[in-house]
């Protein structure tokens, strides 16, 4: 299975800043093996400069932070998978907690985005995770099951059979994103085992070949410990990915 270290730059970096950061990553990883894959989910305005810096480097790929499930149309402020691919994106992040809990996206919309992006040739990283209130209420299993099954119920069988290499799940406890609080190893092990079992219920043995990443206040100091846990196949990094040296330390872990 290919492991993945992914950067989510969120709403940070101008084009010049993105180009400088991407070029630093490209210089450092030019001869790196393609496993782990290193993805950068950049702002839409920076996708082309990131993709240009990463061109022809097997370990690196550019991704977008969201998409809309239509080729084109009267959807002011949205962006289509075709536009993203034209700008150089190979991946798209779908269902990030900030999209769900700040901007109000529901499971049905996340499922539509996932299905459409895959249909249009983008690889998808699907984000799932619970709020603090849901965890304290004992709803972890129910939340993860709802979020995953809503997507797989919308995926036709032909798509389910072709996910390997084009689909990953990022578990991100909402209470650990940008708070400095990291889920303990026992909490990560529990959640990732649940995700793996739920994937197996949805698609059978092929679930073992889909990467499951952890995201939530990942830093150079905790990256190696997280990567050493069962069912942790990569990391989704927020704030610590904005500095190339910090992010390269995480990749090296």
Give the span between the Cα atoms of 120 and 109, in whole angstroms.
16
Distance of alpha carbon 122 from the chain centroid: 13
Distance of alpha carbon 208 from the chain centroid: 18
Contact yes or no for 187/226 (Cβ under 8 A):
no
Q: Are strands 234-237 and 212-215 parallel, antiparallel or unpaired?
A: parallel
The catalytic residue among 78, 96, 164, 192 is 96
The dihedral over CA atoms of 118, 174, 179, 18, expressed in degrees to the nearest 10, equals: 10
**Catalytic status, residue 96:** yes
Q: Which of 76, 202, 69 shows the shortest CA–CA distance to 148?
A: 202
Give the span between the Cα atoms of 193 and 107, in whole angstroms.
21
Give the span between the Cα atoms of 114 and 131, in whole angstroms.
22
CB neighbours of residue 175 within 10 Å: 19
The catalytic residue among 98, 105, 172, 192 is 172
| The two three-digit tokens of residue 45, written as one number | 């305005």
**Catalytic status, residue 134:** no
Phi and psi angles of residue 129, each rounded to the nearest 5 degrees, phi first: 160, 160
By annotation, the residues acting in catalysis are 96, 172
């Amino acid at each position: 299975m290919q492991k993945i270290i992914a950067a989510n730059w969120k709403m940070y970096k101008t084009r010049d800043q993105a180009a400088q950061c991407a070029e630093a990553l490209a210089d450092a990883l030019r001869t790196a093996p393609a496993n782990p894959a290193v993805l950068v989910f950049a702002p839409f305005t920076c996708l082309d400069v990131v993709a240009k810096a990463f061109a022809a480097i097997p370990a690196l790929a550019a991704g977008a932070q969201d998409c809309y499930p239509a080729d084109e149309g009267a959807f002011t402020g949205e962006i289509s998978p075709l536009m993203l691919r034209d700008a150089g994106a190979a991946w798209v992040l779908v269902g990030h907690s900030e999209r769900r809990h700040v901007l109000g996206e529901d499971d049905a919309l996340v499922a539509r985005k996932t299905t459409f992006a895959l249909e249009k040739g983008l690889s998808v990283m699907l984000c799932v995770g619970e709020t603090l209130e849901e965890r304290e209420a004992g709803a972890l299993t129910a939340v993860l099951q709802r979020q995953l099954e809503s997507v797989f119920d919308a995926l036709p069988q032909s798509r389910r059979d072709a996910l390997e290499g084009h689909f990953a799940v990022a578990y991100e406890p909402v209470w650990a994103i940008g708070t400095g609080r990291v889920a303990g190893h026992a909490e990560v092990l529990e959640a990732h085992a649940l995700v793996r079992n739920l994937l197996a219920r949805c698609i059978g043995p092929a679930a073992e070949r889909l990467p499951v990443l952890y995201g939530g206040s990942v830093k150079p100091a905790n990256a190696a410990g997280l990567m050493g846990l069962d069912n942790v196949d990569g990391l989704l990094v927020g704030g610590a990915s904005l500095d190339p040296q910090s992010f390269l330390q995480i990749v090296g872990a």
